Amino acid sequence: MRQQKYTALTKRLASTMVLGAAGLIGLIASSPTMAQSSDYPNRPIKWVVPYPPGGTTDVLARIMAQYLTDHLKQQVVVENKPGGGNNIGTEYVINAPADGYTMLLVNPANGINASLYKKLPFNFIKDIAPVAGLVRTPNVMVVTNSLPVKNVQEFLAYCKANPGKVNMASSGSGTSVHLSGELFKSMTGCNMVHVPYKGAGPALTDLMGGQVQVLFDNLPSSAGHIKNERIRALGVTSVAREPSMPNLPTVGDTVPGYEATAWFGVGMPKGTPKEAIDRMNAVVNQALADPKMRDRLAELGGVPIPGTPADFGKVIASETEKWAKVVKESGATLD
């Protein structure tokens, strides 16, 4: 009798354990943080751009978002969260659920701010999961049409004849636009006043209006205005000339050794499932290999930087190290 009771009890316990395990497995499988490659994504994805509409980051995100939407069969929604020199949008993504449904348009400010700001509520390299590189673009030195200069040499002469009277706009403190200008200042001794904006859009508006005189902008956001002669380009900041503007010299032609480029990519919160990261990486790389997409990016001056998540992580690390030296040499700092 005792043996029969013991056997029955054992069977009930075993059954309970099986059901419990099955329930646990079901709970894990349905957890939003356990995105599976087979069903990811199964709802819309938010792509945070830490700048206002109209700038390079916004333009690139919207071009890519349409491709991702079409090929992932889920809406990829661009959401602009400007402010704090890029840090507000970045912190928002870092603190978002690590479920694969919130992305960041990673940009040069993420590497620059690590050394530019004395205190940040996050460590970007440690707190972001690299997903994929997008493009690398040159910046372009542009001036308001009312400024009586036609090349970098004439600009230097004007700047030195009017110390402290040239307003240098940027798309925000800590952006590559800002630091490209700081590098120019440190290499030439040109005394300019930095005027930060919340994105390239409003900076370009004031440049066209003559409220500021010069901007070292990311080429994609300035290209259309240059072609329509709303502003005047003096030079690109890359080592070689830009194929889309072959007649435009480099800044380095006048200032030997000067070079600055912008880079962009996709990041997600640390802890995002590998399946989600790999899926997004694959579709982004597919986009960068698409001839039509490459042509669109080339029109904006963008050179694709495909690769694995680890490859993009190396880009983030190397750019952070590079701009830390520029920040130190320029003496720029923010609280």
DSSP string, 206-268: HHHHTSS-EEEEEHHHHHHHHHTTSEEEEEESSSS--TTSTTSPBGGGTSTT---EEEEEEEE
Question: pTM for the complete prediction?
Answer: 0.75
The predicted model gives 251-277 an average pLDDT of: 95
CATH class belonging to 138-253: alpha beta
Of 137-141, 251-255, 267-271, 300-304, the least confident: 300-304
Do the two domains 45-137+262-330 and 138-253 of this chain adopt the same fold? yes
Nearest residue to 247 (alpha-carbon basis) of 136, 149, 151: 151
Fold entry, domain 45-137+262-330: D-Maltodextrin-Binding Protein; domain 2 (3.40.190)
* pLDDT single digits (tens) 51-94: 888 877 888 999 999 999 999 999 999 999 998 888 999 999 99
End-to-end Cα spacing for the chain? 78
C-alpha to C-alpha distance for 227 and 232, rounded to whole angstroms: 9
Give 48's contacts (C-beta < 8 A, 6+ positions apart): 79, 80, 81, 89, 92, 93, 102, 103, 104, 105
Which of 35, 38, 46, 97 shows the shortest CA–CA distance to 75? 46
* Per-residue model confidence as pLDDT tens digits over 10-27: 444 344 433 443 443 343
Chain-wide mean pLDDT for the chain? 88
Strands (DSSP E) along 12-161, which ranges? 45-49, 76-80, 102-106, 128-144
> What are the sequence ranges of the domains in the chain?
45-137+262-330, 138-253
Whether 239 shows a pLDDT value over 80: the answer reads yes
Of 302 and 161, the structure prediction assigns the larger pLDDT to: 161
Angle at 185 between CA 157 and CA 58, to 5 degrees: 110
Query: Residue 169 is inside which H or E element, if any?
Result: strand 166-170
pLDDT at residue number 185: 93
